[in-house]
Chains A and B, each alone.
Chain A
């Protein structure tokens, strides 16, 4: 059960994600630098948060053209679970793996705060242990986190059950309070909040269990496969 953490120049949550995957949930975890490919034996791929290429032009847009993204696309097509968190989500959107775009927050400020997520789809590899409408206390930390898509796309997202998480409150002006989406097959998930910052009770002032279920879901998914 190998999980790959993709590292771009400017990624800055890669070490946090690695720690959680390997030390907390005991996945066999490995870093992959953006300019190389991914080996075939990877069972899940995670794109961590950060400021790839310093958010130049637009968050995630340059990283979306990295050589490794081609392999991520191939794996996504094969149905391998792919998770993008924060900048990772922005990269997945910019590379066309997920629908929509992420715009500057309504406040025009970078926002770092604890919010509440609501689970809208518990059929993905990252949510199968969560209950529908379950609440997850979790921090966000982004400047460009406002999810946007045209009405037609939003309708389609709803119809095909591609909305994975919503915010409990109006946090940043996201369309339909969307915080995370998946592709049509459900194996590629992107989310703005940081689950890796919420799974250890020592640093989670509210409740670390719901966020843990995101990673436990992946354990279940990969266990099922093996």
Chain B
């Protein structure tokens, strides 16, 4: 599809001539939505990107946080949606590979992977099941082989992803501040391509393919090779330690075209390169193909001629390819040659900076009526409803997924996957808590509040481990921005995230925008995914086993907010209602209070209340500790509501605390002093999960029975349909 006519005219007028075919390919790759962010960039600037811990350096593909003691944490998030929808194994695997190299680019070692996976309805759609199964395997095979633990994530199913897949991967890195790569280039420096060979795979990956390439019917999905990636990681970290790298960039979307032009533009240099020097998988590759191939496991490095010898020695040790493909010039041009013949010679500034768009937006019509609720027939016993919810693919245990991921390698994983946020120990004695969250059901009903809700939920999760949120990653996934209604939902989400980030002083340290996520039946629901990183100075709260006599305390109000809830959508098949709204003041107060309580070490665990509401959150506590609980719904603070609404409302800013009886008065005193809304609503003991409302039983279930259903249902669904 190449450039649009308008863009071609623009390019011609900027360079004062017709572009060559190679130039056209390079510019089309770089001006694609994927690489240029042309639709979103203008607006993304509203997010706060600075903060006391943030280190900003030019040319970084990841965010960098100073975590003290001379150490930094890096983080980034990427998606591989289109490839994964076609070839889930390779798409997911190369998605991991790409984001890992972004972390490596800063000179830090990748120490954890997180995956957010979304598919169609796996209960009725066999293709969705196939996509799910293979995407999980793709993440597992790649991450496991690299020896980077996959320690957290989420899996969600929704009809809006029919015939499609969202595969998001976040990666966290760790390193010494003084070993960060400070991207720079000196006169006479050489440009090196390191890693796997360049082949014909992945051509067209970043949203373009010329007619001639299309006619050859090449795969747009890249081929994963985690073994080579592992060797690259070790080789580059060794080169980093020996200070052999001046500047570095990973080859992702747009391949060499983007890596070379973005490096030249970021460092304000020119790069002259010869495609003959690129180590290729096939002999007869055309310069156009070499420049836009998205073959994986490749890194672009700028170094001096003296350091090159040492770099080559390291590559020899690991037996990975290392080709000097060009040199640094000071004319700001990207000059691509094949031998002596020039194929492209353009200003890096022109290539790397597509004209940004200011697309029109319009509030979608469907939002006018979406809050209207249907009347549901009231029932008195919700035990069956509860069993159904706990076996629902979105709520059932994800153990089938995370047990396929090596989540222990690296020996940092203090809080393992399966709970709230996962926690890693760092070499400076501190702990890093990370969680990613999305909620397309709520974002569809209210793009602004839904996005804020994802952000707050991720914060709540890290707070439950005792961590203070210090940085945020955002991944904004929407349909076609050319549809003003979709673009409106994008802007609303972004504005919501910006307001929350500013108010809570949590800087955005990295992000990604993925647009044009369209399925055969239409656009996906707005799916912003938010990652929050939290820091723990002393000790994380590792949930302790709940025992007989322990008390259950809820913090935060339960409101009539069931729009987008699992209860409405899964049980009643109803899309609509009031989306949960975060009250910033209440949210901040609750977070601060929970952190205060955790630091005083008087509670056994803190658990966040989210999907499936209070009912599911209490059950999760019971199942994990294999103990029953008696809960009185009439004691739950908040609006006066019917039993089902108290049970299944997904209001934000709520926490469940478990505490030994001897500490309950101490706990209540702190809660009172902090003026938060709270109540002791239950006691643990026995073998039953028992909810009552004014002494009337509403749910009465055996923990062992519930646990069996919750733990096995997703696996059974995948294996047996």
Residues of B with C-beta under 8 A to A194:
408
Interface centre among B147, B225, B411, B416 (most CB of A within 10 A): B411
Quick check: B414 and A202 within 8 Å, CB to CB? yes
Listed stretches A53-61, A116-124, A152-160; interface member = A53-61
Check B20 for interface membership: any CB of A closer than 8 A. no
Could you mark each residue 315-342 of chain B with 1 if its beta carbon is under 8 Å from any beta carbon of chain A, else 0? 0011100000000000000000000000
Contact A197 B411, CB 8 Å, known A9-B318, A10-B145, A50-B147: yes
Check A203 for interface membership: any CB of B closer than 8 A. yes
Q: Which of A132-163 contact B (CB under 8 A)?
A: 139, 141, 143
Interface centre among B230, B409, B413 (most CB of A within 10 A): B409
Contact A16 B410, CB 8 Å, known A55-B145, A111-B403: yes
Chain B contact-residue range equals 20 to 34
Q: Select which of B227, B231, B404, B411 is within 8 A of A109 by beta carbon.
A: B404
Find the B residue at minimum CB distance from A143. Answer: B144
Min CB distance B503 to A, Å, is 34
Q: Which of A94-124 contact B (CB under 8 A)?
A: 109-113
Residues of A with C-beta under 8 A to B411:
16, 19-20, 196-197, 200, 203
Could you mark each residue 191-218 of chain A with 1 if its beta carbon is under 8 Å from any beta carbon of chain B, else 0? 0001011001011010000000000000
Quick check: B406 and A203 within 8 Å, CB to CB? no
Check A33 for interface membership: any CB of B closer than 8 A. yes
Contact A54 B225, CB 8 Å, known A139-B408, A197-B408, A205-B416: yes
Could you mark each residue 412-443 of chain B with 1 if its beta carbon is under 8 Å from any beta carbon of chain A, else 0? 11101000000001000000000000000000
Could you mark each residue 143-165 of chain B with 1 if its beta carbon is under 8 Å from any beta carbon of chain A, else 0? 01111000000000000000000
Quick check: A54 and B145 within 8 Å, CB to CB? yes
Quick check: B403 and A12 within 8 Å, CB to CB? no
Find the A residue at minimum CB distance from B719. Answer: A107
Q: Which of B291-320 contact A (CB under 8 A)?
A: 317-319
Q: Select which of A10, A51, A196, A202 is within 8 A of B425 by beta carbon.
A: A202
Quick check: A110 and B144 within 8 Å, CB to CB? yes
CA distance A31 to B531 in the complex (A): 36
CA distance A112 to B404 in the complex (A): 6
Find the A residue at minimum CB distance from B150. Answer: A112
Quick check: A51 and B145 within 8 Å, CB to CB? yes
Q: Select which of B230, B402, B405, B416 is within 8 A of A51 by beta carbon.
A: B230
CA distance A169 to B227 in the complex (A): 32
Quick check: B414 and A51 within 8 Å, CB to CB? no
Q: Which of A24-50 contact B (CB under 8 A)?
A: 33, 49-50
Q: Select which of A112, A196, A200, A205 is within 8 A of B406 by beta carbon.
A: A112
Q: Which of B110-153 contact A (CB under 8 A)?
A: 140-141, 144-147
Contact A203 B414, CB 8 Å, known A9-B319, A111-B403: yes
CA distance A113 to B405 in the complex (A): 9
Check A91 for interface membership: any CB of B closer than 8 A. no
Could you mark each residue 272-286 of chain B with 1 if its beta carbon is under 8 Å from any beta carbon of chain A, else 0? 000000000000000
Min CB distance A55 to B, Å, is 7
Quick check: B403 and A9 within 8 Å, CB to CB? no
CA distance A9 to B412 in the complex (A): 22
Could you mark each residue 6-19 of chain A with 1 if its beta carbon is under 8 Å from any beta carbon of chain B, else 0? 00011011011001
Residues of B with C-beta under 8 A to A19:
411
Quick check: A203 and B144 within 8 Å, CB to CB? no
Could you mark each residue 47-76 of chain A with 1 if its beta carbon is under 8 Å from any beta carbon of chain B, else 0? 001110111100000000000000000000
Quick check: A13 and B413 within 8 Å, CB to CB? no
Contact A12 B147, CB 8 Å, known A54-B225, A203-B411, A203-B414: yes
Residues of B with C-beta under 8 A to A112:
402-408
CA distance A191 to B231 in the complex (A): 25
CA distance A137 to B317 in the complex (A): 38
Residues of B with C-beta under 8 A to A54:
145, 225-227, 230
Min CB distance B142 to A, Å, is 10
Q: Select which of B145, B404, B412 is within 8 A of A111 by beta carbon.
A: B404
CA distance A16 to B414 in the complex (A): 15
CA distance A112 to B317 in the complex (A): 31
Quick check: A141 and B409 within 8 Å, CB to CB? yes
Contact A53 B414, CB 8 Å, known A16-B409, A109-B404: no
Q: Select which of B225, B230, B542 is within 8 A of A12 by beta carbon.
A: B230
Min CB distance B430 to A, Å, is 13
Residues of A with C-beta under 8 A to B147:
12-13, 50-51
CA distance A20 to B542 in the complex (A): 22
Residues of B with C-beta under 8 A to A113:
403
Find the B residue at minimum CB distance from A16. Answer: B411
CA distance A159 to B404 in the complex (A): 35
CA distance A197 to B149 in the complex (A): 12
Residues of B with C-beta under 8 A to A9:
227, 230-231, 318-319
Min CB distance B134 to A, Å, is 13
Contact A110 B140, CB 8 Å, known A10-B145, A12-B147, A56-B227: yes
Quick check: B408 and A141 within 8 Å, CB to CB? yes
Min CB distance B175 to A, Å, is 14
Interface centre among A10, A13, A16, A20 (most CB of B within 10 A): A10
Residues of B with C-beta under 8 A to A111:
403-404
Residues of B with C-beta under 8 A to A12:
145-147, 230, 409
Residues of A with C-beta under 8 A to B318:
9
Residues of B with C-beta under 8 A to A203:
408, 411-414, 425
Residues of B with C-beta under 8 A to A143:
144
Find the B residue at minimum CB distance from A141. Answer: B406
CA distance A16 to B111 in the complex (A): 12
6 contacts between A and B (CB under 8 A): A54-B145, A110-B141, A111-B404, A112-B405, A141-B406, A203-B413
Since A54-B227, A112-B402 are in contact, a sample of 4 more A-B pairs with Cβ atoms closer than 8 Å, ordered by chain A residue number, is: A54-B145, A110-B404, A141-B144, A203-B408
- Pairs A-B, 9 closest by C-beta atoms: A12-B147, A54-B227, A51-B145, A141-B406, A16-B411, A197-B408, A110-B404, A112-B406, A139-B408
Q: Which of A's residues lie within 8 Å of B, judged by CB?
A: 9-10, 12-13, 15-16, 19-20, 33, 49-51, 53-56, 109-113, 139, 141, 143, 194, 196-197, 200, 202-203, 205
